[in-house]
Structure 1
Amino acid sequence: MWMLHQFPLCPFSRKVRLLMGEKGIGYELVRTDPWDAGDDFWAANPAGRVPVLEDRERRIALCDSRAICEYLEETVDKSPLINGTAANRAEIRRLVALFDETLFGDVTMPLLHERMKKRLVMREPPDSRVLREAMKLAHAHLDYLDWLVDNRSWLAGSQMSVADLAAAAHISVADYLGGIDWKGHDSTRGWYYAFKSRPSFRALLAERMDGIRPPEQYADLDG
């Protein structure tokens, strides 16, 4: 059986969990904080990052969320999430890279550093300047998501794809940490609230990071 090493507020782990949920793939969650991981974890991934997806019976250890998603897409013939024409598949991958690199770097990573790592690991107060900049940049990303939602059935085209999963994973972490202001972003808010009502999202909404409580609207499904 698959074992997924992750911690609750890792957006990349959340993306993999959403994909596995949509495809109906069973797995066991293994809580792994990279800043306090043991030798076995470092042996599985020398980069020291989650997620890591393991099947020890088959001696398989997969690292990097995009590589994991691609592997599962290629090996599980159910609910394709990198779909459509070659051009559409390229667009899906472009958006996943945008969310995993730019949205993460501008918004998710600073929020995680200031509101999670500083509190739980470094025992330092957050930098309000960094938080303000991250929330400012979040509006720019939400503007682009508004455009995608207004012009497509799903973010990358006519069907749900791993691009939707990636965006939802990052937004959910930012929302948990109080970094999302939905004012002026009704299109993306509607898409996100519909997406987080899916069965694959329920476990994420129920999970909590020790010592950090999300705002009340985090688990709200009413929009």
Structure 2
Amino acid sequence: MSSSDPRPPLSKADYVYNVLLEEIRTARIPGGTALRAGEVAKRLGVSVTPVREALRRLEKDRLISYEAHHGATVVDLGDEALAEYYGLRSVVEGLGARLAAERITAEELAGLRELHAAMAADASQGRTERLGEQSRRFHLRIVDIGGPAFLGAHARSVRNSFPVPAEASLWLDETQVKAQLDAHESILAALESGDGEGAERIMIEHVRRAGEFRQHH
């Protein structure tokens, strides 16, 4: 198959799964919400069968639970889960940064600097609503560089496991933006100089700070 061939279309179950995963991940469907297969099917223009398959996958991901007489409900995670989520992210993304410092290429570094420059430009023009998703890409790209075999997939799985409402992003708080961009700048400098320990330390602190912000908002 040549690289110019179109990618196969997603199956209907994949499509439903991806839509619901994104809605749960961004808390557009909040914890505690009942998910009725018939209603989801109607909203997404598919039959009930792929919806049921997608719901089973989301249950396996521990994002929804089934209860007798209630059907599928989006899991409502509390403060302990929040602390665990940011703790796990700091370990996985910190390790990703440490490994990336050992193997990053000049081209990969330039790509990260370009993404960082785009974020700085958006921040300076007050387009803070774009920063959260760009930051996610920045972090995951570093982990992919450091751990292409396993770590990148783990980092995505962790990030998909806990809903972060768009309005809870610390990138929307102007008092936080400069400190977060400075942390990204410091991570880039550590990656460029091959300082794995420094990159890991800064990344861990950076992710922990985001967790502390969430716990107090």
TM-score using structure 2 length:
0.29
Question: Does 1 or 2 have the higher relative contact order (CA < 8 Å, sep 6+)?
Answer: 2
Larger radius of gyration: 2
